[in-house]
Structure 1
Amino acid sequence: MALSGAASPSTAQPAPSVTVPASFDCGKATRAVDRFICANAALRWQDLALSRSYRAVLDSLTGPARAALVAQQRDWVGERDRRCAADRSFAELNDPASWVHDQAYDCLMVVYLDRRQTLGDRAATPIATRVIGEIDLAPIVRARPELVEDGNVRIAGMRLSPDDSHVAILLPSQEIDYPDQLWLYRVADRKLTPVTPRPDAAAKHSPEAVSAITSLAWRGGTLFAIASLWNDGSDGLDGPQAYYAATIAVGRRLRDKPAEVEGQWESVTGGLVYREDEFPDDLDAVQSLRGNEGWLVWTANRGHGTVDLHIRTRKPLGAPHLVIWGGWELAQFLFDDARSRLIYPADTGIAQFDMATRTERRIAGTGREDQPYAVSADSGTLIWATRNRCGEEYLAVREPDAPERFCLAAMTGQ
């Protein structure tokens, strides 16, 4: 936080990986704790994220309340330094082989996360949720045991029907980077049924076997899908197309492309037309790209397992804004293009981000390391994966052998 930093020039080494800045000028940092923060991208992100929440709360206050917050934050900075750095030198703190380094790093992460949640909830009231239930994937586990790892089934993606009554569940191919089977789940009675056939496991695929699910569409309680077939010589995506439709009671392959959902198809991978001059970033680093007429949203791979999420306006073309920094889990962010909102896994739980106001709101009932999978068209229903019980939130790291659950909740506090 800027409240902690000295502003005088120094001989401090410049911080690496400047794509994640701290809230203060690392080039002018002289104190050991500030230099240690600058030397670690994760700590720089914590400092920047906290400063945003602090500034949002501060800007909403006047008079004595504002002065009180400034005093509280100065006290917090002092307590942070006393608990996590004490009188240790930068060399002691930054020695990766030392227990002092690990203790200081872990301490700073804990105190930052705690303060971020406190100030974040003051800056923007968390979105209240009401748990609807948990999706039981046992039928998929029995049908596709090859997708089960450590007791959990791998999922390529999920989509909610427009009326929130059904969920489309996409299962990942083990051969190409696309889903290869689609299932339908009905929320009311928790029934689950396949829409498309089980993939062909033979070394030489049948020409009529499904290789990839490419698009889906809804009409009431019926889920439609477009699939590519292996065909002879196909790479999995350039084969002929097949069309499927299913209700929870029955599924079938169609003879022709269904006219009743024309214009309603949704690509399972998204898709966006953009110009290269809309990216100041190296296009080779871009991992996930979304957008609408007003905004571009993308994640960039920064190496060493780190990913950051950015936005920028398209009309007029604005400067990129770093929304959040983290790991590979950010590649599965959700984009509500109608309302220009993002939903992503944050350090303090799943968060909703309003792109126009740059306001982040924590979604109550979710915790750290939870992963969003789908949000309804009206942003009223959320599906997410957790190793907690559905609706439970805390900042502790999950037990690695805890079972993964897929939860549905109504976001009642929009």
Structure 2
Amino acid sequence: MRALSSSLAVLFLLAWVGIAPAQPSFDCATATGAAERAICLSPRLSADDRRLDEAYRRARSSLGDAEREALRAGQRDWIRRRNACGADPACLAEAYRSRLQELGTLAAPPPGPADEAAPAGGLPSLARSLGGIARVEPGPNGTAIAVTAPGERVTLIEKTGVISAGYPWFLIRFEGGRGYQWGGDLCTEGVPQPGTRRTC
């Protein structure tokens, strides 16, 4: 209660002297919890919140219905993690930085001709999904952002050092964005690619 009173007092003082407080994407008059109040009082965190809101909207507009629902679920999970920071500005800044990076990955363009011109066995290279899940970070615990259908064409961009059940995770491009998919759920077209299950 004391923290809430202090936050309101600061906002009132700023308004009284004619300095407009920073405005995040949400209404500070209805801010709840230490994290939201800290964001309202910080111009930097407020700017980060506006940037994240714009990045979220861009990513959402590039996805299909199923992917949008996964994105919404990921955003709800992220808000819970952000709120766990409380009023710690360093923790909040890192939460925004990592989520902005994730959303930037989602809003990337689909595969293009440049992705398809790679030396034999090198990356990028063409592949197909055997039916899998694209995630915002490599590993089975990463937030799901899309389901890639069996036979869906993707581009392998980079092999990560994260290994699950003997197969690495790849950064891939698929129609609608980019994400990480397990190599065991991928097959390559023509030239074998170490780390994928087989050639298609």
Tell me the TM-score normalised to structure 2 length: 0.44
Larger radius of gyration: 1
Please identify which structure carries the higher helix content: 2
Tell me the TM-score normalised to structure 1 length: 0.22
Q: Tell me which of the two structures has the higher relative contact order, counting C-alpha pairs closer than 8 angstroms and 6 or more residues apart.
A: 2
